[in-house]
Amino acid sequence: MKKPNAHRAFTLVELLVVITIFVLLLAIAVPSFSSLMDSSERAQAENQLVTGLNQARSAALTSESTGDTAAVFFFDTNGRLRIVTCVDVGDLPDVDMADNPVTRDVFVPVASYPVVQLPRGWSVRGFAPVGSVDTGSGSGWYEKPASSNRVLSSTTGNWVFPETAYYDPPNTGQKQGRNRQTFMIRFQGGSGVLRTDVNIPAVVLDFSPATSFRAVAPWSEYRFDATDRPEVLVRRAVARKLANPSWDKLSLLLGDDAVDSVLTRAITELALYDENELAGAVGARGLNKATNCIYGGTKVNSAATFPRIDQSLFGTAFNAGELPTRINDWILGVGEDTKPSDVRLYTIDRYSGQAREVLP
């Protein structure tokens, strides 16, 4: 009678061969999987950008009030970019940086259109033509607070970032709105045609998460944050100012000074990109962990309470004056020392409203 064979164990050589094959397979699979994930996220970011623009144009075509609509870009404290469909609900008597009277359009979000959010790590910059940002022009758009180290070029155009989350929710009477800037793609109500003829910055409502200051007037009288029809309160506030010109609280509620509003301007060119790639291209060691971008506070990995570049990411190589040039060169893919760019550049067709990729 034959005895059953004893169980045979792996030899050391066989075990090493198996481990070697596994390591080789892993070395092949990981880059492929990583590349697949990157491609998937890029495709998702591109689709979300197009969706956000199409929503805003659709809202313009179906606008009952024939008011212009816009795709407005926001970057939040959670490190994500969102695109909000907004509609122009009226003219706002405001003041510019020199306290001169100026009339601004005021936009509010359209509740019936969902907010579009890009994948984490992906963002959009808008091209601000030369002379449009406030580096002495007096426009107030992308004004640089005294405590900020963010610099923009006064001699070339700038690819600007949605600086919407970097402000300190105020106590009563504080003016924090001028720290909040962004850009929008604007469509004509009724026709859906791209607006390229509006150069005066507008304001768009984007409510502060703070609530303590809302307990006193004038905020307690106009709780834009507690209604699904903020446009009604906007019109009431504007009507009150028109009926009583001496009422001086409108700018705190809705104007450039208001913490609940963001100064925005219509543009026509966009850049979709990976924040990590931008950081590496401009000499940063990574991203601020609190903001998931190169903006940050005065301490390492702290959130910013005003538009400020996280200098600790650059070390001794930080040069505020050179940074906008580095960003512009990287986005456009120019310059001898510029790292290769995988940025997607888009221009908006005037009549169709479609985002068209600009190929090199």
Domain ranges of the chain: 18-357
Rounded Cα distance, 252 and 193, in Å = 32
Tokens standing for 47?
């689709």
What pLDDT does residue 213 have? 84
Q: Which of 322, 274, 314 is nearest to 296 (CA)?
A: 314
Residue 227 predicted with pLDDT over 80: yes
Percent of the chain with pLDDT over 90: 56
pLDDT band at 175 (very low <50, low <70, confident <90, very high): confident
What pLDDT does residue 346 have? 96
Which residue has tokens 């590349």? 35
pLDDT band at 135 (very low <50, low <70, confident <90, very high): confident
Q: Which of 110, 34, 27 is nearest to 67 (CA)?
A: 110
Residue 234 predicted with pLDDT over 80: yes
The answer to whether the predicted template modeling score (pTM) of the entire model surpasses 0.95 is: no
Residues 186-213, mean pLDDT to the nearest whole number: 91
The letter for the amino acid at 105 is D
Rounded Cα distance, 186 and 69, in Å = 6
What pLDDT does residue 261 have? 93
List pLDDT tens digits, range 305-344: 889 999 999 988 889 999 999 999 999 988 777 787 889 9
Residue 32 predicted with pLDDT over 90: no
pLDDT band at 188 (very low <50, low <70, confident <90, very high): very high
- Residue that wins the pLDDT comparison between 147 and 36: 147
Residue 58 predicted with pLDDT over 90: yes
Asked if residue 218 has a cis previous peptide bond (ω within 30° of 0), the answer is yes
Residue 78 predicted with pLDDT over 60: yes
Residues 126-141, mean pLDDT to the nearest whole number: 90
Are 209 and 169 in contact, with CB atoms under 8 Å apart?
Answer: yes
What pLDDT does residue 40 have? 81
pLDDT band at 359 (very low <50, low <70, confident <90, very high): confident
- Residue that wins the pLDDT comparison between 95 and 9: 95
Rounded Cα distance, 98 and 90, in Å = 23
Residues 20-25, mean pLDDT to the nearest whole number: 80
Q: How far is CA 179 from CA 17, 191, 223, 250, 345, in A?
A: 61, 33, 22, 18, 27
Are 63 and 110 in contact, with CB atoms under 8 Å apart?
Answer: no
